[in-house]
A and B are shown apart, each in its own frame.
Chain A
Amino acid sequence: MNVNIIETSGLGKRYGSTWALRECMLAVPAGHVAALVGPNGAGKTTLLNLAVGLAEPTAGAVTVLGGLAAGSPAALDGIAFVAQDTPLYKNLPAADMLHLTRNLNRRFDQPYAKARLGELGIPLNRRAGKLSGGQQAQLALTLALARRPRLLVLDEPVAMLDPLARHDFMALVLTAAADDGVSVLLSSHVLAELERVADYLILLSRGRVQVAGEVDDLIASHRVLTGPAAEADRYTERPLVHARRADAQAHLLVRATADDPVPPRWEAHPVGLEELVMAYLREPGAGALPGPARGRATHPTEVTK
């Protein structure tokens, strides 16, 4: 599986005089569940809209599914998109939404869709607007998955759902990934659940890609060193991402692996994904981008305080 499900080079999008996205360089491999995270206004929705062909780039280019132009008929065919607030025709019953989706697409697995809706307990002849929020999300997701896409793109899919609905929604997404090998790109600003769900991370901050890479690689290449605050300023062995200090004690989040030596009287701990993301969000100047596979050396900016 050497295909890149999304590839961008120098991608940028400007609205009026504001750049929502700038110099975006990504190569997300297929077969992963990629999470797109970042604060509100970071450009997540813009990036997703560019990938599914709802918007045109102002600069650079984006290709999907191994080199297809975003928005081209072949790309539309292979990508299923569920936008924020799961748009559905509220006055149509679920059965008609099924019929509609079948008519608008080349490929539609009607038995699968009916089976999923049956399992989820979504009545087929109730209007979509009368379903609960969780059911609407499940309906939109089922319609998307029934198109048998190669890539499923979700824009903040679980933001409005209660915890149980969130769980069921993600279970459906991940089961599709397990059964059919669907790649997933989903945006979220709920960090806590990402570690369970994602194996590729893209962190957008202020319209730029700050971090991109496989979750396992990112976690393996970062450590938190805890030690005396007095020595913290003198630490230079490994690139520093973010430091937190009190009078006596300091925590340094550094780019290091478990093999790297730890200074005496310091302790090293592995870093969780949430802590990692928060640290990068606090340090806009730092970055962690994939290295040799893209032919670019990794040069995260060092930040010293």
Chain B
Amino acid sequence: MYSDQHLRVSDAEREAVCGRLAEHFAAGRLDQAEFDDRVGRAMSAKTRADLRGLFADLSETGAPAVPELPRGGGGTPGDGPRGPGSPIEFRLDAASGVPTYLQLVHQVEHALRLGYLTLGDQLPKVRDVVASLAINPNTVLKAYKELETKGLTAGRPGQGTFIQATLSQVALPELAGLHKSLLGWLTTADAAGLDEDGIVALFTSALRDFYERRGGTRGRRGAASGEAEGVA
């Protein structure tokens, strides 16, 4: 996975994006209101991730104005033209004890959270995942199906699997606040004598209890993922 999504954009880049938006407006893909809205968002964009989201439903021809680092998908034993490809590449932690398909699901969710993936991005083709990781194709299909069940992706026949929703974003200030309070709790736990593994175990157990109390299958799914991730 590459990290240019977090890079700050320059005025020049914002201007270039506005230029492209103007082309789309001239071609009739955007109406006036949408055009104004997107230009406003472009001028206030901070990172490349912000800018890319503006073109999620617009077909791109030619080189994109936001320069992209070479896609990291080089692991596939070359077969045919590279095409647009997928922004992300999967990895496998064979020793983690987490089922393979769950690892793939989590990586997609993680990528969504961090902005590596946005609306309209394509997930790696099943064949390419199989070729680079040497895993069972049914496993990849199962992962993609799970993502579809969660409503995060949708398959387009003959084209691939595409992101169609994002995870609920927590606002940045709120995230910062949560991070701070967590650090405070950790300080207390550390003072009480818990080591890292003890903290993880305690947290995992509390997480499980929390979701169980919230009830139903949702709880169990949460518990399952919490358990799978947190088992020491």
| Residue among B127, B134, B139 making CB contact with A199, cutoff 8 Å | B139
**A175 and B100 alpha carbons, distance in the complex (Å):** 17
Q: Does A270 contact B (CB under 8 A)?
A: yes
Contacts of A216 in B (CB 8 A): 142
A14 contacts chain B at the CB level, 8 A cutoff: no
Check: B137 CB closer than 8 A to any chain A CB.
Answer: yes
Q: What residues of B have a CB within 8 angstroms of the CB of A55 in the complex?
A: none
Tell me the dominant secondary structure on chain A's binding face.
helix
How far in angstroms is the closest Cβ of chain A from B102? 10
Rounded to whole angstroms, the CA-CA distance of A32 and B220 in the bound complex is 29
The size of the chain B interface, using a CB distance under 8 A, is 26
Distance of A129 from chain B, by nearest CB (Å): 25
On whether A119 and B139 interact (CB within 8 A), knowing A178-B127, A272-B97, the answer reads no
Complex contact B126–A178 (CB within 8 A): yes
Hey, which chain B residues are within 8 Å of A219, CB to CB? 99
Residue A80, interface by CB 8 Å: no
Across the interface, A196 reaches (CB within 8 A) one of B79, B132, B136, B227, namely: B136
Alpha-carbon separation in the docked complex, A178 to B132 (Å): 12
Name A155-200 residues within 8 Å CB distance of B: 167-168, 170-171, 174-175, 177-179, 192-193, 195-199
Q: CA A196 – CA B138 in complex, angstroms?
A: 10
CB A186 to nearest CB in B, in angstroms, measures: 12
Assess the A199–B136 pair: CB atoms within 8 A: yes
Q: Are B134 and A170 in contact (CB under 8 A)?
A: yes
Q: Does B83 contact A (CB under 8 A)?
A: no
Is there contact, CB below 8 Å, between B134 and A197? yes
B residues 116-137 touching A (CB-CB < 8 Å): 126-127, 130-137
Q: How many whole Å from B190's CB to the nearest CB in chain A?
A: 26
Residue of A nearest to B142 (CB): A216
A238 at the interface (CB under 8 A from B): no
| A198 proximity list for chain B (CB < 8 A) | 136
Say whether A152 faces chain B, with CB atoms less than 8 Å apart: no
Q: Does A269 contact B (CB under 8 A)?
A: yes
- Is A192 touching B131 in the complex (CB atoms < 8 A)? no
- With A174-B137, A196-B92, A197-B135 known to touch, is A269 a contact of B231 (CB < 8 Å)? yes
Residues of B within 8 A of A175 (CB): 77, 127, 130-131
Of the candidates A175, A199, A219, A272, the one having the most CB atoms from chain B within 10 angstroms of its own CB is A175
**Interface residue A100 (Cβ < 8 Å from any Cβ of B):** no
A192 nearest CB neighbor, chain B only: B94
In the bound complex, residues from chain A placing their C-beta under 8 Å from that of B227 are 269-270
B207 contacts partner chain A, Cβ-Cβ < 8 Å = no
- Whether A258 sits at the interface, judged by CB under 8 Å, is yes
B224 within 8 A of A: yes
Q: How far is the CB of A272 from chain B (nearest CB, A)?
A: 6
Q: Is the CB of B224 within 8 A of A258?
A: yes
**Neighbouring A residues of B131 by C-beta, 8 Å:** 171, 174-175, 178
The reply to whether A33 and B228 contact each other, CB–CB distance below 8 Å, is: no
Tell me the smallest distance from the CB of A182 to a CB of chain B, in Å: 10
Q: Tell me the nearest residue of chain A to B135, going by C-beta.
A: A196
Residue of B nearest to A194 (CB): B136
Which are the 4 A-B pairs with shortest beta-carbon distances? Answer: A178-B137, A170-B134, A171-B134, A196-B135
- B residues with CB within 8 A of A: 77-79, 92, 94, 97, 99-100, 126-127, 130-139, 142, 220, 224, 227-228, 231
Q: List 15 A-B contacts (CB under 8 A).
A: A167-B134, A170-B134, A171-B130, A171-B132, A171-B133, A171-B134, A177-B130, A178-B137, A179-B127, A195-B100, A196-B134, A196-B136, A199-B136, A199-B138, A272-B97
Can you add 8 more A-B contacts, CB < 8 Å, to A171-B130, A174-B136, A177-B137? A32-B138, A119-B77, A174-B130, A175-B130, A179-B127, A199-B138, A199-B139, A270-B228
List the interface of chain A (C-beta within 8 A of B). 32-33, 119, 167-168, 170-171, 174-175, 177-179, 192-193, 195-199, 216, 219, 258, 269-270, 272
